[in-house]
């Protein structure tokens, strides 16, 4: 075994995590269902992060947002 064993989550922590995952999934679905050709690159990027982070939509969305922030500075 490697690393530290994780402390089990409390019921309220599990519910909060599931709520966050649901919200992230809803945002991802909204973005991926878009049809604007100008946003095709963003949809492709998000799709890649979703594929690379199965079961972790919040992580995929965060990584996508960070990558966009780095490529599109103010």
Model pLDDT, residue 70: 72
What pLDDT, on a 0 to 100 scale, did the predictor assign at position 1? 45
**What domain range includes position 71?**
40-74
Is 28 inside any structural domain? no
**d(C-alpha 62, C-alpha 42), whole Å:** 13
Angle at 65 between CA 62 and CA 66, to 5 degrees: 85
In a domain, 65, yes or no: yes
For the chain, the domain total comes to: 1
pLDDT tens readout for residues 35-54: 999 999 999 999 999 999 99
How confident is the prediction for the chain on average, in pLDDT? 89
Is 25 domain-assigned? no
Percentage above 70 pLDDT, the chain = 89
What one-character DSSP code corresponds to residue 25?
Answer: H
Residues in CB range of 50: below 8 A, 6 or more apart? 28, 57, 60
Q: Cα-flanking dihedrals φ and ψ of residue 16, to 5°?
A: -60, -40
pTM across the whole model:
0.77
Whether 61 has a pLDDT exceeding 50, the answer reads yes
């Amino acid at each position: 075994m490697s690393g530290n064993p994780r402390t089990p989550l409390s019921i309220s922590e599990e519910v909060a995590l599931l709520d966050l995952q649901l919200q992230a999934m809803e945002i991802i679905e909204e973005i991926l269902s878009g049809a604007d050709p100008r946003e095709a690159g963003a949809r492709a990027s998000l799709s890649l992060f979703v594929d690379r982070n199965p079961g972790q939509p919040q992580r995929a969305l965060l990584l996508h947002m960070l990558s966009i922030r780095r490529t599109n500075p103010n």
